[in-house]
Amino acid sequence: MKNDFLYMLDTNAVSNLIRGQGNTALQALVIERDACISVITEAEIRFGVKRKPQATRLAKAVGVFLLDMPCLPWTSATAQTYADLRTRMEVQGIGLSAMDLLIAAHAIAEDCTLISADGAFTKVPGLRVLDWSANDDSTLPGNPARLVRERLAREGISPSDVADAVAEVRASAKQVKPKKPAKPE
């Protein structure tokens, strides 16, 4: 299944964003609207709030976050991906918690890169993972140059197309003679 999002945030990334502890690249993902969450992550976040009924500021922050963050539903296609993935992982002897396996399957089904600081996801076959907790923001998709390249690629625009367009603009700019500013009298 293909959607409009390149990235799916894992629960630990969402928790850190809500607490204001995400790095700038992680924050840029949310601002750029290239990220979504799984309904499974929504369930985990809502469960965390229910476990702390006295944390009213947390509940309010979660509510605001969920209002603005696209949340992808679990579908029959996602369920099929989950069944295939779980079977494959069991045969290979790879273990993952139940909720993490659901999120991993959802990211694969939606063709998203999962943004997580949980190293367990790196064992999941076929899952693309980026560690948001790395100190180097350039490893995350919040890197502006990477964001531009990925957006262009989604639109079917290759690096050579960009180079050709830049060369064309530069050539036409050379043909236009700049006006000399008027001298004061």
In a domain, 1, yes or no: no
Task: Give SS3 for 143.
Answer: coil
Q: Where are the beta strands (DSSP E) in the chain?
A: 7-9, 35-38, 71-72, 113-115, 129-130
Tell me: the pLDDT tens digits for 21-64?
767 777 777 777 688 999 999 999 999 999 988 888 888 889 98
Residue 23, judged by CB atoms within 10 A of its CB (0-12, 13-18, 19+), counts as middle
In a domain, 181, yes or no: no
CA 10 to chain CA centroid, nearest Å = 9
Q: Report the distance separating Cα 13 and Cα 11, nearest Å.
A: 5
CB 115 within 8 A of CB 8: yes
Q: Could you count the other beta carbons within 10 Å of the beta carbon of residue 3?
A: 13
* Whether pLDDT at 18 is above 80: yes
Measured at the alpha carbon of residue 104, what is the angle toward residues 143 and 91, in degrees to the nearest 5?
135
What's the total number of domains in the chain?
1
Question: Residue 126: which residues within 8 A CB-CB, separation 6 or more?
Answer: 85, 108
In a domain, 104, yes or no: yes
CB 131 within 8 A of CB 97: no
pLDDT averaged over the chain? 80
Tell me: the pLDDT tens digits for 51-97?
988 888 888 889 988 988 999 999 999 999 999 999 999 999 999 99
In a domain, 90, yes or no: yes
Terminal Cα distance for the chain, rounded: 68
Range of the domain at 99: 7-162
Tell me: the pLDDT tens digits for 123-145?
999 999 988 887 555 555 444 44
For residue 151, the domain's CATH number is: 3.40.50.1010
In a domain, 124, yes or no: yes
The DSSP code for 130 is E
In a domain, 117, yes or no: yes
In a domain, 55, yes or no: yes
In a domain, 174, yes or no: no
Question: Residue 159: which residues within 8 A CB-CB, separation 6 or more?
Answer: 149, 152
